[in-house]
Amino acid sequence: MISFYPGPSKLNENTKAHLIEAVDSGILSMNHRSPDFIELSKTTASLLREKLSIPKDYNILFISSATEAWEIIAQSLIKNHSLHIFNGAFGEKWMDYTQKLISDVQCYRYSIHSKIQIEALAISPKCKVICLTQNETSNGTQICNGVLEKIQKLYPEKLIAVDATSSMGGVALDFAQADIWFASVQKCFGLPSGLGILIYSPKVVEKANLIAERSHYNSFLSLVDRMKDFQTTHTPNILNIFLLRKILEERPSIEIIDKQISKRADQWYGFLKEISAETLITNPECRSKTVITLQGNENFIDAIKKEALHSGFVMGNGYGRWAKSTFRIANFPAYTSEDIEKLQKFLLNYYSSNS
Ligand SMILES: *Cc1c(COP(=O)(O)O)cnc(C)c1O
C-alpha cells in the first residue's frame, strides 16, 4: 500500500532504520536540558539552515504543529489586527483560529484561478501581520511568483507570515520575502506528524518585544529565549527532531530537490492532460507543485478512490468545500519514480475504461 495522501504521507525510505537508530542511540531517554539533546537540536537547526538556504539572520524554532504556529502568531505577534489572504480551507482555518484570540481580523478571499490582486488590497493601517498560505493543501494552489515580493515592497512596516506546511522541504522558498515561515514535518519532509518548524526574521523579534507577550508556555519570546541555548520551553518531540536530522543529512540541498519536484509536477500535469483527467486548477501559474487536485462528479470521485485502494494506493480525500468533488495526490520528495509510475499506470487504466 502506498499513501499519496498529502499529509501524513509516505515516510522516507529509511525511516524504519532511523527509528531503530534513535532508540539505540539512547537520545530518547535523555533529558531535554542535557548536552546530548542540545547538540541534536543545534545540529538539526544548522542543517535546516544549510539545506533549505535560510538567511543567516533568520532563526528557527521547534514547535509541535503548523496549527500551533497559527496560535503563536495570534497570541504573541498580532495584538489587535491581522489580514488573512486566502483561497482555501487552511488559510480560512488560520483566520478562524486567529479570530478566537484577536477580535479584529480582516480577510481577503481570492479565486483559485487567479493571482492575488495586491493593488486591490485595502489594508487597514491598524494591521500588524499579513497572513498568507504559500501552498493551499485543500485545493492544490500555490502563491504565484512575485506576489510576496510585491506585498513586502508595498507594506515594509508590516510583518508577513507564510504557512508553507505543504511546500517547505519540497520547493525552494525565498525566505527573505517574508518574516515568518512555518511548516509541520508530515508533508514534504516525509516524517511522522508531531513536529513543527517556525522560521523568523530579526524584525519579528523587534515587533514581539513591543507587544511583550509572555503569558503562555509557547509565547513567541519565551520560545526564542530558550532556543538561544537550543532548548524548548516544553519537552519537545525529540524522536522527530532526531528523524529530521537524519533525513536532512541524507537529502541534497533544496535547490536540487526543487528541480526534481518541479520536473515531476510538470510530468504529472502533462500526464493528466494526456489521459483527460480534469485538474481543479487549470492556470499553470497558480498550480501547486506538491499537491495535485483532480475533480469530477461525486460518484466518479468515490469510485476511483475505492478502486485505487483496491489496487494498493491511498488517494487524498478532497478537503473543505472540495471534499466531495475532488481527490488529491501528493507530489512530495519521499516518492520514488517507481511509486509514481505505478500510480500513473493505475490512473491510465482507470480513466481509459471509465470515461
Ligand atoms: C497540514 C496543514 C496544516 C496543519 O498542519 P498540522 O501539523 O496538523 O498543524 C496547516 N496548514 C497547511 C497549509 C497544511 O497543509
Share of the chain above pLDDT 70, in %: 100
Share of the chain above pLDDT 90, in %: 96
Using the atom order of ligand 1, give the atom closest to the CA of residue 291: 15
**How many angstroms separate the alpha carbon of residue 184 from the centre of ligand 1?**
7
Q: Which long-range contacts (CB under 8 A, 24 or more apart) does 54-60 make?
A: 54/175, 54/199, 55/175, 55/176, 55/201, 57/201, 57/202, 58/175, 58/199, 58/200, 58/201, 58/202, 59/199, 59/200, 59/224, 59/227, 60/197, 60/198, 60/199, 60/227
Average pLDDT over residues 93-114: 96
**How many angstroms separate the alpha carbon of residue 265 from the centre of ligand 1?**
21
Helix, strand, coil shares of the chain as percentages rounded to 5? 45, 15, 40
**pLDDT tens digits, one per residue of 263-311:** 999 999 999 999 999 999 999 999 999 999 999 999 999 999 999 999 9
Mean pLDDT of the chain: 97
Task: Check residue 280 and give its pLDDT.
Answer: 98
**How many angstroms separate the alpha carbon of residue 272 from the centre of ligand 1?**
26
Confidence check: pLDDT of 206 > 90 = yes
Confidence check: pLDDT of 44 > 90 = yes
Average pLDDT over residues 122-131: 93
If one residue of 67, 94, 162, 165 were mutated to test the ligand 1 pocket, choosing by the most ligand atoms within 8 A of its CB, it would be 165
β-bridge partners, 327? 294, 317
Task: Check residue 301 and give its pLDDT.
Answer: 97
If one residue of 131, 168, 184, 240 were mutated to test the ligand 1 pocket, choosing by the most ligand atoms within 8 A of its CB, it would be 184
| Nearest protein CA to atom 12 of ligand 1, as residue | 165
Contact 15, 190 (CB under 8 A): yes
Q: Which residues of 232-256 are buried (b: 16+ CB within 10 A; e: fewer)?
A: bbeebbbbbbbbbbbbbeebeebee
The rounded distance, in Å, linking the Cα atoms of 313 and 343 is 7
pTM: 0.98
**How many angstroms separate the alpha carbon of residue 110 from the centre of ligand 1?**
20
**How many angstroms separate the alpha carbon of residue 155 from the centre of ligand 1?**
26
| Nearest protein CA to atom 4 of ligand 1, as residue | 66
**How many angstroms separate the alpha carbon of residue 67 from the centre of ligand 1?**
6
**pLDDT tens digits, one per residue of 218-259:** 999 999 999 999 999 999 999 999 999 999 999 999 999 999
If one residue of 67, 96, 131, 218 were mutated to test the ligand 1 pocket, choosing by the most ligand atoms within 8 A of its CB, it would be 67
Task: Check residue 213 and give its pLDDT.
Answer: 98
Q: Taking Cα atoms as reference points, which of 162, 215, 155, 176 lies closest to residue 56?
A: 176
DSSP readout, 81-126? -EEEEESSHHHHHHHHHHHHH-S-EEEEE--TTS---GGG----TT
Using the atom order of ligand 1, give the atom closest to the CA of residue 68: 9
The DSSP element (H or E) to which 160 belongs, if any, is: strand 159-163
| Nearest protein CA to atom 7 of ligand 1, as residue | 65
Could you give phi then psi for residue 196, rounded to 5 degrees? -120, 155
The rounded distance, in Å, linking the Cα atoms of 67 and 97 is 9
Task: Check residue 354 and give its pLDDT.
Answer: 87
Could you tell me the pLDDT band of residue 27, with boundaries at 50, 70 and 90?
A: very high
**How many angstroms separate the alpha carbon of residue 108 from the centre of ligand 1?**
20
Task: Check residue 256 and give its pLDDT.
Answer: 98
With a Cβ cut-off of 6 Å, ligand 1 is lined by 7, 65-67, 90, 133, 137, 163, 165-166, 184, 193
How far lies 141's CA from each of 89, 190, 254, 327, in Å?
Answer: 11, 20, 20, 14
